[in-house]
Amino acid sequence: MSRDYFQTEIARHIWNSKYRQREADRIIDHDVTDTWRRIARGLAAVEPEDQAQWEQRFYEILEGFRFLPGGRIQAGAGTARRVTLFNCFVMGVIEDSMDGIFDSLKEGALTMQQGGGVGYDFSTLRPRGTYARAAGTVASGPVSFMRIWDTTCGTLLSTGARRGAMMATLRCDHPDIGEFIDAKRESDELRNFNLSVQVTDAFIEAVRKDAEWPLVFPAESIQGHEGETINREWPGYAQAIPCKVVARVPARELWQRLMRATYEYAEPGVLFVDRINRMNNLWYREHITATNPCGEIPLPPYGACNLGSINLTQFIEHPFEANARVDLQALTATVTTAVRLMDNVTTASRFPLPTQRDQAHHSRRIGLGITGLADSLILLGLRYDSDNGRAQAAEIMRTVCHGAYRASIELARERGSFPAFEKEQYLQGRFIEQLPRDIRDDIARHGIRNSHLTAIAPTGTISLLANNVSSGIEPVYDWSYQRNVRAPDGHMEQYALTDYALALWRERGDAPMPDTFVRAWEIAPEAHLDMQAAMQPYVDSAISKTINVPPDYDYGRFQSLYETAYDKGLKGCTTFRENPVTGSVLQATPTATHCCTIEREAD
């Protein structure tokens, strides 16, 4: 009799509704082992030799939910469907013309139709009320055009396409930054978007000095405002260009406007864009101004990345015992195989646009991360918000990171480096310089297959699939609660959820839970931030993490969280405080959706 890998009904529902292969009314995947075999076979098929051996090795890391590929991989690998296996895209630079805007809209629609989440930088669009030099028309501003994207995404949903997810970013010195910050104040505005402000080092410095802050736009694109001009780097230009100073505002007032917005309705988030670019392994050929919808993958124009997560709960030996430990050797072995599987995804995948294919093949980026961290710490007898808990989490991520880089070097010896690899420049990258000496020496000798290797995604859907392990690096939301999940025909079904670690604890009897069982809202916001900071040194892309903030949290303490995130070396910060506009993160019938719930995640 075959083993039933589903310990929860919601896991069975997720598999059946999202990842089980059917052809019309004919069922192809009779059980989840058929799904794992399909994925393994489909990705081993691009191996030039020993395909049966690699199929078996891929199957072994998939079995029992040890490794969880991104949702598009699970749904599409090994099928004949003309779909992308990539979850994450950043679209091209939006040209500031009607033709350019609607060409970009079309590209985004085609990408979302195939299941990709998309990110856009709207900074190239002229500010509201300015005149174009060429056409003499008055601009309505980037936020007005974002509403067209939002409607398009909603229309695609109504046709039965996968739910859309989009990220919009805007520079902190764009003249319409105030309107962008306030754009989601109403609960029905831009519901298919997450918003993030590109915050520069210069802006943080101006905030701290209480200095004036210039709002600018490329001088060649607008008429009027014939006064002061300053040079700025701007998306769509290869080097700094003259920009007209449209206005000057107190930097601290603008920062306060941003802080008040995210305190009151949880958006926009913040991207520390200069750090993103400084720490980019491809610093010598890319300039990044946007991310995928949940923020864990900063990407250049037309950039793409596939995702996968190691389920840490499957590597804990002797859970709840005094000798509980992480099997780091088994973890490293799984990482090694997962890197090869994910590299094969790049080869096997289709892409909505040729430009996306070219970018993906040029860098061969992958985003290997972890999930189930909070449950794993509980199994190890460690509190999420303790120094020991953070140290253990950092050791795990260091193992994943260094194992992934070593695996990618071995792949380069076999298959060659990614096409955009330039040894001297790559080795000068700030993240690369922090790697152990043996890894850097081996990159110098053999090259590396993938430009980037690690990212930590929210994993809401695939964590439910893995029997409700905690999501990504987030704490456990709650021990038991009701969850509404959308069925394939669109209606909502309700499931009772019990956290994975608690279910395992209850198998031991009815002893009271120790204090290592801690929920998200019982953890101080500063401790959330500390966990993200502990992991960031081993993540070459970024981390999707929500800093949970109690409703009664003091605003003065709240606004300091973002400066603390900057000082701790993070690439971005997102907070969530329950509020009347967006409701709560996991309530049964949310009035609006938040960036890191499974209702927004590009699964």
The CB density around residue 41, as the number of other CB atoms within 10 Å, is 18
513 phi/psi in degrees, rounded to 5: -70, 135
Q: Is residue 292 part of a domain?
A: no
Q: Which helix (H) or strand (E) holds 529?
A: helix 525-535
- Give the whole-angstrom CA distance, residue 600 versus residue 153: 12
Provide the CATH number for the domain around residue 142: 3.20.70.20
Q: Is residue 273 part of a domain?
A: yes
Residue 10: both structure tokens together? 């919601």
Q: Which of 192, 277, 292, 450 is catalytic?
A: 292
Q: Is residue 325 part of a domain?
A: no
Q: Is residue 241 part of a domain?
A: yes
Cα angle for residues 415, 417, 423 (degrees, 5° grid):
150
Q: How many domains does the chain have?
A: 1
Q: Is 296 one of the catalytic residues?
A: yes
Which three-class secondary structure state does DSSP give residue 293? coil
Locate tokens 């078996």: which residue? 56
The CB density around residue 189, as the number of other CB atoms within 10 Å, is 17
- Give the whole-angstrom CA distance, residue 89 versus residue 99: 22
Q: Is 573 one of the catalytic residues?
A: no
What per-residue confidence (pLDDT) applies to 485?
82
- Give the whole-angstrom CA distance, residue 578 versus residue 80: 43
pLDDT tens by residue, 20-49: 999 888 999 999 999 999 999 999 999 999
Which burial class, exposed, middle or buried, applies to 424 when counting CB atoms under 10 A from its CB (0-12, 13-18, 19+)? Answer: exposed
Strand pairing of 298-299 and 290-291?
Answer: antiparallel
22 phi/psi in degrees, rounded to 5: -130, 150
Task: State the amino acid at position 428 in one-letter form.
Answer: Q
18 phi/psi in degrees, rounded to 5: -115, -35
Q: Which of 286, 296, 474, 601 is catalytic?
A: 296
pLDDT tens by residue, 243-265: 999 999 999 999 999 999 999 99
Q: Which helix (H) or strand (E) holds 214?
A: strand 212-218
Which burial class, exposed, middle or buried, applies to 134 when counting CB atoms under 10 A from its CB (0-12, 13-18, 19+)? Answer: exposed
Handedness of CA 135, 140, 141, 146 (dihedral sign): negative
* pLDDT-flagged residues of the chain (< 70): 1, 133-136, 158-164, 224-225, 488, 583-603
Cα angle for residues 184, 190, 196 (degrees, 5° grid):
65
Residue 103: both structure tokens together? 């060409």
Q: Is residue 108 part of a domain?
A: yes
Nearest to 436 by CA among 379, 490, 398: 398
Q: Is 294 one of the catalytic residues?
A: yes
8 Å CB contact between 569 and 482 = no
Tell me, what DSSP letter sits at residue 514? P
Cα angle for residues 492, 497, 499 (degrees, 5° grid):
145
What per-residue confidence (pLDDT) applies to 187?
85
What per-residue confidence (pLDDT) applies to 224?
66
Domain that holds residue 217: 88-278
Which three-class secondary structure state does DSSP give residue 61? helix
Q: Is residue 118 part of a domain?
A: yes
Nearest to 571 by CA among 452, 469, 461, 409: 452
Residue 177: both structure tokens together? 């930054």
Nearest to 5 by CA among 68, 49, 51: 68
- Give the whole-angstrom CA distance, residue 77 versus residue 71: 10
Bridge partners (DSSP) listed for residue 193: 166
Which three-class secondary structure state does DSSP give residue 490? coil
Q: Which of 88, 172, 294, 595 is catalytic?
A: 294
Tell me, what DSSP letter sits at residue 161? P
Q: Is residue 347 part of a domain?
A: no
Nearest to 199 by CA among 216, 174, 235, 176: 174
List C-alpha distances in Å: 491 to 71, 113, 488, 603: 21, 21, 8, 19
